[in-house]
């Protein structure tokens, strides 16, 4: 599986990273070199092998679905680049 | 008292209890040493005022005969740990100006036990790197240099600031994190001791996430005993991290000095990778010989899927990173670069805020998770992870601990490795441990032909850190300590 320049543009769009047109070719080469190296995994017979879901065998902890924390909206927005009255400010998204 | 910064945690703890010096005197000695060592670029933020306040509080407790396990001990904190009101940026531009309104569980545990914070330590951006060259705050310099050379070397990564600071004696010990080798590789490059505990032993709450199924916190320290003291304080069961495992934290220090007579030590034949250098092979054989002389039984074992661990890691880790790093959007914290609309703003902020290696990994992760490729890459990698874990489970029927080299080479020069895949190969001996969730410790065991420290790695069963401390101490007892000659 080889990554072409259109794929680089599509993946960059999905990842929400603006890629300059002059860097597309270099990125395609870099991604291909990594993906090519990863392809050795195809040698492994994985028939009947379960994919790992948890690295340590423990029962997932559960807790009661109740509020245990919160009620400090100012702390939540404290680090926002733009905030007003404890709300995040973003560019207009509705026409 | 001459140089207080030369004391290990264990010896400083004695001196503080006997009132030979105060916690404030100890802290002042470190503050002065940090100022003189700025050329190493290990600290990106120094917090001397906070350190003095904490040291005075420790002195008040010590005066009453009180105090925790780390009372008055000055530590450096990797920039990945959230520290309330203090710069926490994972050494990335995208977290510009971020000061958390909360404290990570691990650092909370350290402060509860009386430790003093000296500042935040440099690291690879978002812990992605093996040389500390991806930090937004510049390279860290290794205190070690090659024989008859003044050229700078990298301290390893991603916990390069932690390793360099511990080796240069500008903190008594440091926190670090390990996703694929980020504690053990820099420890090996700097002649220090680093342990990545079992996945779930330390809480990940308040540590900036890279790859959540692999990330673990752990210490870098000057010797095995100090690493044991640190881990006991760092580890805890935390309701805020559902993957933190509900097991009591042992007193790891008690394992040190215990006999290794009858211990079964595994030597995995697959680690004798093609092109292993003679000095690494000699180090490995010597380490096995030292353990044998102390009564251990050396047994060759097979971990057949070893060679697939690193490529599988470069699917799993970037996939999880692309998901974890989606939160950096220019809205909630850090850098915002304006755009024509909100999507343009996201894209501009992320392009300006993430460095090239982080962008590369997000792109790989996004690609392997994208429609049509998920089964071929991600599911396959997770199946291979099952096989890697199974290899170890079969080995534990024959052996109690596994001995390997920590790294394929000693420290290298900045700029020496520019190809991403070549850089990834630094973690070839360490990454299997993360993939299987096991504990691993790096302990210095010799020097290279160039006079640089080299480390051995011990891998243990899940939650059997005590065997690692016991065995690492047995190696340390023969190998001795390694101290970089001071040139700064």
**B233 is annotated as an active-site residue:** no
In Å, how far are A63, B120, B239 from B355, measured between CA atoms?
A: 39, 20, 34
**B182 is annotated as an active-site residue:** yes
Asked whether the beta carbons of residue B348 and residue A18 sit closer than 8 angstroms, the reply is yes
Q: Is A67 in the B-facing interface, judged by CB distances under 8 Å?
A: no
Closest CA to B327 of B180, B126, B177, B132: B126
In a domain, B350, yes or no: no
In Å, how far are A5, A44, B301, B430, B454 from B306, measured between CA atoms?
A: 33, 12, 12, 10, 21
Is the pLDDT reported for residue B28 higher than 80?
Answer: yes
Determine which one of B92, B108, B131, B158 is catalytic. Answer: B158
In a domain, A68, yes or no: no
Domains in chain A: how many in total?
A: 1
Domains in chain B: how many in total?
A: 1
Mutate to test the interface with A, among B200, B311, B329, B360 (most CBs of A within 10 A): B311
Contact list, B373 vs chain A (CB under 8 Å):
1
How many angstroms separate the CA of residue A25 from the nearest CA in chain B? Answer: 13
**A:B CB pairs within 8 Å:** 159
**B152 is annotated as an active-site residue:** no
* Cross-strand bridge partners of residue B401: B265, B460
- CA-based nearest residue in chain A for residue B418: A30
Q: Is A2 in the B-facing interface, judged by CB distances under 8 Å?
A: no
In a domain, A75, yes or no: no
Q: Is A6 in the B-facing interface, judged by CB distances under 8 Å?
A: no
Region B267-281 average pLDDT:
91
Asked whether the beta carbons of residue B242 and residue A93 sit closer than 8 angstroms, the reply is no
Place of tokens 């320290």: B221
Q: Sign of torsion, CA A30 A34 A37 A42? A: negative
Question: So what's the pLDDT on residue B2?
Answer: 61
In a domain, B467, yes or no: no
The total number of residues shown for chain A amounts to 95
In a domain, A89, yes or no: no
In a domain, A29, yes or no: yes
- What's the CATH code of the domain at B134? 3.90.1300.10
Q: How far does chain A reach from its first CA to its final CA, in angstroms?
A: 41
Asked whether the beta carbons of residue A44 and residue B419 sit closer than 8 angstroms, the reply is no
Determine which one of B22, B182, B244, B409 is catalytic. Answer: B182
Question: So what's the pLDDT on residue B1?
Answer: 46
In a domain, B175, yes or no: yes
In a domain, B285, yes or no: no
User: Which stretches of B130-190 are assigned E, i.e. beta strand?
Assistant: 173-178
Place of tokens 């400090």: A72
Please, are residues B484 and B168 in contact by the beta-carbon 8 Å criterion? yes
Mutate to test the interface with A, among B383, B389, B393, B439 (most CBs of A within 10 A): B383
Place of tokens 């919160």: A70
**pLDDT band at residue A61 using 50, 70 and 90 as cut-offs:** confident
Q: Is A66 in the B-facing interface, judged by CB distances under 8 Å?
A: no
In a domain, B223, yes or no: yes
Asked whether the beta carbons of residue B312 and residue A41 sit closer than 8 angstroms, the reply is yes
Asked whether the beta carbons of residue B308 and residue A40 sit closer than 8 angstroms, the reply is yes
Instruction: Give the one of A11, A63, A78 whose C-beta lies nearest to B363's C-beta.
Output: A11
Q: Which domain holds residue B183?
A: 4-261
Region A30-43 average pLDDT:
95
In a domain, A32, yes or no: yes
Give the Cα separation of B243 and B200 in Å (integer): 5
In a domain, A34, yes or no: yes
Question: So what's the pLDDT on residue A15?
Answer: 98
In a domain, A61, yes or no: no
Question: So what's the pLDDT on residue A1?
Answer: 59
**pLDDT band at residue A57 using 50, 70 and 90 as cut-offs:** confident
Burial of B242 (0-12, 13-18, 19+ CB in 10 A): middle
Q: Which domain holds residue A21?
A: 5-43
In a domain, A33, yes or no: yes
Region B338-350 average pLDDT:
97
Q: What is the DSSP string of chain A?
A: ----HHHHHHHHHHTT----GGGHHHHHHHHHHHHHHHGGGGGS--TTPPPPS-SS--PPP---SS--S---HHHHHTT-SSEETTEE-------
Region B366-372 average pLDDT:
94
Question: So what's the pLDDT on residue B64?
Answer: 94
* Cross-strand bridge partners of residue B174: B76, B220
Mutate to test the interface with A, among B99, B327, B331 (most CBs of A within 10 A): B331
% of residues, chain B, pLDDT over 70: 100
* Cross-strand bridge partners of residue B221: B173, B193
Which tens digits make up the pLDDT trace of B155-180? 999 999 999 999 999 999 999 999 99
């Amino acid at each position: 599986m080889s990554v072409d320049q259109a794929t680089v543009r599509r993946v960059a769009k999905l990842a929400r990273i603006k890629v300059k047109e002059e860097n597309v070719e270099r990125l395609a080469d870099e991604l291909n070199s990594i993906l090519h190296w990863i392809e050795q995994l195809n040698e492994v017979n994985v028939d009947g092998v379960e994919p790992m879901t948890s690295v340590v065998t423990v029962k997932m902890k559960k807790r009661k679905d109740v509020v245990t924390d919160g009620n400090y909206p100012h702390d939540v927005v404290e680090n926002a680049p733009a905030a007003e009255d404890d709300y995040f400010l973003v560019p207009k998204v509705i026409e | 008292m001459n140089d207080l910064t030369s004391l290990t945690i264990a010896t400083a703890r004695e001196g503080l209890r006997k009132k030979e010096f105060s916690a404030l005197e100890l802290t002042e000695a470190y503050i002065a040493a940090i100022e003189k060592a700025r050329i190493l670029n290990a600290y990106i933020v120094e917090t001397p005022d906070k350190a003095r306040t904490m040291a005075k509080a420790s002195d008040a407790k010590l005066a009453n005969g009180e105090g925790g396990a780390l009372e008055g001990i000055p530590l450096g904190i990797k920039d990945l740990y959230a520290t309330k009101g203090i710069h926490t940026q994972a050494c990335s531009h995208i977290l510009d100006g971020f000061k958390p309104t909360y404290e990570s569980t691990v650092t909370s545990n350290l402060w509860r036990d009386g430790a003093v914070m000296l500042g935040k330590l440099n690291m690879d951006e978002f812990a992605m790197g093996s040389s500390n060259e991806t930090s937004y705050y510049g390279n860290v310099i290794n205190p070690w240099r090659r024989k008859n050379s003044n050229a700078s070397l990298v301290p390893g990564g991603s916990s390069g600031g932690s390793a360099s600071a511990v080796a240069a004696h500008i903190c008594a010990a440091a926190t670090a994190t390990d996703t694929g080798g980020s504690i053990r590789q820099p420890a090996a490059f700097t002649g220090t001791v680093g342990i990545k505990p079992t996945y779930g032993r330390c809480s990940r709450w308040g540590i900036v996430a890279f790859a959540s199924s692999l990330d673990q916190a752990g210490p870098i320290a000057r010797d095995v005993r100090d690493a044991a003291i640190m881990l006991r304080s760092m580890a805890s069961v935390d309701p805020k991290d559902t993957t933190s495992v509900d097991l009591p934290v042992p007193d790891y220090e008690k394992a040190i000095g215990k006999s290794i007579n009858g211990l079964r030590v595994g030597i995995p034949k697959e680690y004798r990778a093609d092109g292993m250098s003679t000095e690494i092979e000699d180090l490995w054989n010597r380490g096995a010989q030292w353990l044998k002389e102390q009564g251990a039984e050396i047994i060759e074992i097979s971990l057949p899927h070893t060679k697939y661990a690193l490529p599988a890691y470069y699917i799993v880790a970037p996939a999880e990173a692309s998901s974890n790093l989606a939160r950096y959007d220019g809205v909630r914290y850090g850098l915002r670069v304006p755009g024509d609309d909100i999507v343009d703003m996201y894209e501009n902020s992320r392009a300006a805020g993430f460095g090239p290696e982080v962008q590369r990994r997000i792109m790989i992760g996004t690609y392997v998770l994208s429609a049509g490729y998920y089964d071929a890459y991600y599911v396959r990698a997770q199946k291979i992870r099952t096989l890697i874990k199974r290899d170890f489970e079969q080995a534990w029927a024959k052996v109690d601990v596994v001995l390997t080299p920590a790294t394929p080479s000693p420290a290298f020069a900045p700029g020496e490795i520019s190809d991403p895949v070549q850089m990834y190969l630094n973690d070839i001996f360490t990454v299997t441990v993360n993939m299987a969730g096991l504990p691993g410790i790096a302990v210095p065991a010799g020097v290279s032909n160039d006079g640089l420290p080299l480390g051995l790695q011990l891998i243990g069963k899940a939650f059997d850190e005590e065997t690692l401390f016991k065995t690492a101490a047995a190696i340390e007892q023969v190998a001795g300590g390694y101290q970089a000659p001071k040139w700064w």
